[in-house]
Amino acid sequence: MNDDTLEERLTFRLSRLNVFIALGTLTILLIFLTSILIAFTPLREYIPGYSSVGLQKKLYELTIKTDSIEKALVRKNRYLQNLRDIINGKDLSENKPVERDTVRKYGDIRLKRSEDDSFMRADVESRAKYSLYKAESAETSVAGKGSIGGVLFFTPLKGVITNGFDPVNKHYGVDIVAKQNEAIKSVLDGTVILSNWTLETGYVLAIQHSQNIVSMYKHNSAILVKTGDYVKAGEAVAIIGETGEYTTGPHLHFELWYEGKPVNPKDYISF
């Protein structure tokens, strides 16, 4: 009521049913809001029984790190134990000593190098003394147009070859699987002639080398050089990935072309 005129300003009627409905509705609304607040906010971490956000992922990462640390610790202990054995003059061989074959008289064998063999050994050792490449025989020819067997190639990526060279099925290279984010290196000195992205093979890189040799690197996750750059053998040019439609996982599709024709990279490079 109005205090001055005693006029009624608001009127409402209470009954048992009205009070029950109002309290019930208010209770249900509070329960609903509390459930949403707990279920969809970080407050649930403080309630016993609820796991922390991302706990499973953290546990998995910690398990992987623990396993790696354990393996590294075992290798370190073996290394230190070998050092102790060397200092103490112990035998490092874990196997039983091999019994000598006394039937044949190996002591009477005399090995003698020929003069030509000595010259060949000296020539090969002088060329590959500081080389990281694998040299092949000069007798290897490609498509009847000369040879690249004497070219020393740098290994672009150390890994497992899952798909080999198969020109019949139009697979003109090898697929190499390696660790994630592994760097891919140039096999020879050369100039980048292609650094692009295609729908089928993702990030593609092609390098022109001397002697009409071209190397191609496909399905990369990133390219570290651009068209026109000059790269050295062993220089990182890309990162392994799985881009493009023609990929089934992280790997490098590597091709080697000589005088416009594909050759098997395994014949010239040790992966």
Predicted confidence (pLDDT) at residue 136 exceeds the cutoff of 60: no
Predicted confidence (pLDDT) at residue 95 exceeds the cutoff of 60: no
pLDDT in the model for residue 134? 42
DSSP the chain: --TTT----------HHHHHHHHHHHHHHHHHHHHHHHHSSGGGGGSTTPPPTTHHHHHHHHHHHHHHHHHHHHHHHHHHHHHHHHHHT-----SPPPPP--SS-GGG------HHHHHHHHHHHHHSTT--SB---TT--STTS---TT--BPPS--SEEEE--BGGGTB-EEEEE--TT-EEE-SSSEEEEEEEEETTTEEEEEEEETTTEEEEEEEESEE---TT-EE-TT-EEEE-B--SSS-SSSBEEEEEEETTEEE-GGGT---
pLDDT in the model for residue 132? 42
pLDDT in the model for residue 98? 54
Predicted confidence (pLDDT) at residue 63 exceeds the cutoff of 80: yes
Predicted confidence (pLDDT) at residue 139 exceeds the cutoff of 50: no
Predicted confidence (pLDDT) at residue 208 exceeds the cutoff of 80: yes
pLDDT in the model for residue 227? 92
Predicted confidence (pLDDT) at residue 231 exceeds the cutoff of 60: yes
pLDDT in the model for residue 52? 64
Q: What angle do CA 178, 183, 187 make, to 5 degrees?
A: 95
pLDDT in the model for residue 142? 39
Phi-psi region of 158 (alpha: psi -120 to 50; beta: other; left: phi over 0): beta
CA–centroid distance for 131 within its chain: 25
- CA 145 – CA 208 distance, rounded (Å): 18
Q: Kindly list the structural domains of the chain, giving each domain's residue range(s) and its CATH number in brackets, ordered by start.
A: 160-267 (2.70.70.10)
Predicted confidence (pLDDT) at residue 144 exceeds the cutoff of 80: no
Mean pLDDT, to the nearest integer, of 93-122?
68
Give the residue, 189 or 100, on which the prediction is more confident: 189
User: Burial, 195: exposed, middle or buried (Cβ in 10 Å; 0-12, 13-18, 19+)?
Assistant: buried
pLDDT in the model for residue 97? 52
pLDDT in the model for residue 215? 96
Per-residue confidence band for 101, with pLDDT thresholds at 50, 70 and 90: low
User: Considering the chain, what percentage of its residues have pLDDT values greater than 70?
Assistant: 83
pLDDT in the model for residue 119? 79
Q: Look at strands 173-177 and 160-163 and give their pairing.
A: antiparallel
Rounded mean pLDDT of the chain?
82
pLDDT in the model for residue 109? 72
Predicted confidence (pLDDT) at residue 135 exceeds the cutoff of 50: no
Mean pLDDT, to the nearest integer, of 198-203?
90
Structure tokens at 74: 């075992």
- CA 20 – CA 167 distance, rounded (Å): 83
Structure tokens at 162: 């899952």
- CA 163 – CA 251 distance, rounded (Å): 10
